[in-house]
Structure 1
Amino acid sequence: MRTDAKTPAEAAAPAPAGRRAAELRVVPVRHYGRWAAAVTALAGLTGLVGSLAGNDNLRWDIVGDHLFADLIFDGLFTTVWLTAAAMTLGLALGTLIAVMRLSPSPVLYGLATFFVWIFRGTPLLVQIIFWGYAAALYQYVMIGVPFTDITFFKADTNSLLTPAVAALLALGLNEAAYASEIVRAGIQSVDPGQAEAAHSLGMRPALTMRRIVLPQAMRVIIPPMGNETINMLKMTALVSVISAHDLMSNIQDVYAQNYQVIPMLVVASLWYLALVTVLGVPQAYLERRYGRGTTRARHVSPLRRVLGAAAHPTRAKDEEAGR
């Protein structure tokens, strides 16, 4: 006589792995709070965009007329080259100052520390005005032997320090003070054993810094330096106080004539947003390149995450359930 009743030993025995997996039911986590926050944010953004689009006080016709005007492009060109030149000057001088601050020489360390203290401790706007009106302090720029009448070079300050040159000096020297601290932090993040190993192989200190230390420090330097570049692009708007003919200076010249302040500021904002967006592309590339081998190299931008989730919803759910 057969019976389906299990013996106590059979009841206590664990079920096969395949059977247990078949009996399990995977329930994905429901993130209702995220969906509610997303819907609320989209609703608020839609309302804001609709309100701005339908606001007659913005005068979108004026925005369209001046968005691609020749005067705007002239100022845009000045803004771009001023940003590139100031960042080049700031990064080159900042690297030198960072090495000086790490030098065992008290003279080099003192000079570098004094430079950083001066240019990081005073407002950028004050520095721009100072360089723009330097002729009020020195009528001539002269190079010669101190305390003698021997002069090798002499030029009128106003003709030498044009508004563009004054803006470049102010932005570049100010950036050098901040860049030096970023570079110094990057150099100090490299294991000292790397430099010691290079010295044991006969490499000179300068070559060790250029070929061994700095390439490894770039992983730490690139992200904040990219932010400094974006910040420099926006800080060029301050040179409008000395009429350097950048984007903001030309915008101010236009609304001083047509009295349409808000529409012209919208034009400036749109161009600054476009330039910042373009600058974000090489920054992301450099971060991935110098971050190879680290967890940061596998970082995916928010835009790619959104596009990837839209293109592959099943994969996105599986990845979310696997976390």
Structure 2
Amino acid sequence: MQKTPELEETPKRENGFHKKFKDIDQWWLLVAIVVLLIILLVTTKPDPYNRILKFVGDGIWVTLYTTLISFALVLVLGLFGGLGRTSHNKIIRGIASVYVEVVRGVPLLVQLIIWYFAFPAMVKDLGHAWNIQAFIDYKANPIVMAILGMTVCYAAYMSEVYRAGIESIPKGQMEAARSLGMTYFQAMGHVILPQAIRVILPPIGNEFVTLLKDSSLVSVVAVADLTRRGREFMAANFIPIQTWMMVALLYLVMTLVAARVVKWLEKHSRYER
């Protein structure tokens, strides 16, 4: 018996709906739940949650822009480190390898303390030794030192990410590019790196999320980020549970949104091998 048009069209409409539903990143639902929870806490219990949110609001922006600036610098410095690690020049490869191994062996917190406390002392000592007044009067900017410390630290990890991505591309790609008359740098910039970046996009996104969370460590070097503002509010009001619950939720929103953006970039830059 011949099927009716209505019965034939119904599965097609369901399949189209399910396809569109599957295309949506369902983890955005978790982001919405966390945001709604924050709104619920702020509206139903304005004291203390609304006071906490207003107090730490400027710390959120400090956390965001220190992380974004640091990560932009990490991408650039890490690229040079990755290229150095894959270089055929033994001196360049040796310098890059020593940098990666030494920096990765020292905790980020210790590096931040070195940049904020030890580095200015070294500059002042050089100023006294060389009689340079500008060095003697040097005062470290907390945000600049924090950005510098996070950049130097995470660029070492990013160098290994770049190295892994470059080495994952078949050697025939470089040989083919060179046979077409490209120089090494032209082949790397036009052939190897565009493919490598697509491969390493997930670990790059993971590094960004990790850096966003580790940015809380800059609170120990006088940077008024979200964590430091939370500590100041808790010290003034003696309500640790509510304070750190709000701070944790704010960090969770930022990390979840960052992870969703990276997932979107990964999806739209994917290619079939």
- Tell me the TM-score range normalised by the shorter chain: 0.7 to 0.9
1:239 counterpart = 2:223: no
Q: Residues 210, 136 of structure 1: CA spacing in aligned structure 2 closer, same or farther, 3 A cutoff? A: closer
Q: Residues 135, 203 of structure 1: CA spacing in aligned structure 2 closer, same or farther, 3 A cutoff? A: closer
Is 236-245 or 127-136 further displaced after alignment?
A: 127-136
SS at match of 2:255: helix
Tell me the residue number matched to 1:302: none
Q: Residues 162, 219 of structure 1: CA spacing in aligned structure 2 closer, same or farther, 3 A cutoff? A: same
Quick one: which of 216, 222, 228 aligns to 1:249? Answer: 228
Q: Residues 193, 178 of structure 1: CA spacing in aligned structure 2 closer, same or farther, 3 A cutoff? A: same
1:169 counterpart = 2:148: yes
- Give distance in 1, aligned partners of 2:242 and 2:59: 17
Q: Residues 156, 165 of structure 1: CA spacing in aligned structure 2 closer, same or farther, 3 A cutoff? A: farther
Quick one: which of 114, 118, 123 aligns to 2:98? Answer: 114
Tell me the residue number matched to 1:138: 122
Tell me the residue number matched to 1:184: 163
Aligned AA (1:274): V
1:62 counterpart = 2:48: yes
Task: Quote the offset at 1:63 in angstroms.
Answer: 2.0
- Give distance in 2, aligned partners of 1:227 and 1:165: 24
Aligned AA (1:167): A
Deviations 1:147-189 (A, max 9, x none): x9697x9435752x21111111111111100000000000000
8 Å contact kept, 2:209–2:258: yes
Tell me the residue number matched to 2:32: none
Aligned AA (2:269): Y
Is 164-173 or 285-294 further displaced after alignment?
A: 285-294
Deviations 1:217-268 (A, max 9, x none): 1222100110110011110101111121111111111111111112111111
Tell me the residue number matched to 1:82: 66
Alignment length, in residue pairs?
Answer: 230
Tell me the residue number matched to 2:110: 126
User: What are the ranges of 5 or more consecutive residues in structure 1 without an aligned counterpart?
Assistant: 1-52, 54-58, 295-323
Tell me the residue number matched to 1:203: 182
Tell me the residue number matched to 1:104: 88
Aligned AA (1:208): A
Tell me the residue number matched to 1:285: 264
Deviations 1:119-171 (A, max 9, x none): 1001111101111102564143879xxxx9697x9435752x21111111111
8 Å contact kept, 2:120–2:138: no
Q: Residues 270, 156 of structure 1: CA spacing in aligned structure 2 closer, same or farther, 3 A cutoff? A: farther
- Give distance in 1, aligned partners of 2:257 and 2:135: 40
8 Å contact kept, 1:138–1:157: no
Aligned AA (2:76): A
**RCO comparison, higher one (Cα < 8 Å, 6+):** 2
- Give distance in 1, aligned partners of 2:209 and 2:126: 36
Tell me the residue number matched to 2:37: none
SS at match of 1:271: helix
Q: Residues 121, 284 of structure 1: CA spacing in aligned structure 2 closer, same or farther, 3 A cutoff? A: same
Aligned AA (2:68): A
Q: Residues 261, 224 of structure 1: CA spacing in aligned structure 2 closer, same or farther, 3 A cutoff? A: same
- Give distance in 2, aligned partners of 1:116 and 1:257: 42
| Structure whose residues are more often helix by fraction | 2
> What TM-score do you get using the length of structure 1 for normalisation?
0.66
- Give distance in 2, aligned partners of 1:135 and 1:291: 43
- Give distance in 1, aligned partners of 2:199 and 2:142: 35
Tell me the residue number matched to 1:223: 202
Tell me the residue number matched to 2:79: 95
- Give distance in 2, aligned partners of 1:154 and 1:220: 46
Deviations 1:70-117 (A, max 9, x none): x31211111001111111111111110111111111111111011111
SS at match of 1:140: helix
Aligned AA (1:64): N
> What TM-score do you get using the length of structure 2 for normalisation?
0.78
Is the radius of gyration larger for structure 1 or structure 2? Answer: 1
Aligned AA (2:239): Q
Task: Quote the offset at 1:292 in angstroms.
Answer: 2.2
8 Å contact kept, 1:94–1:183: yes
Identity of aligned residues (%): 34
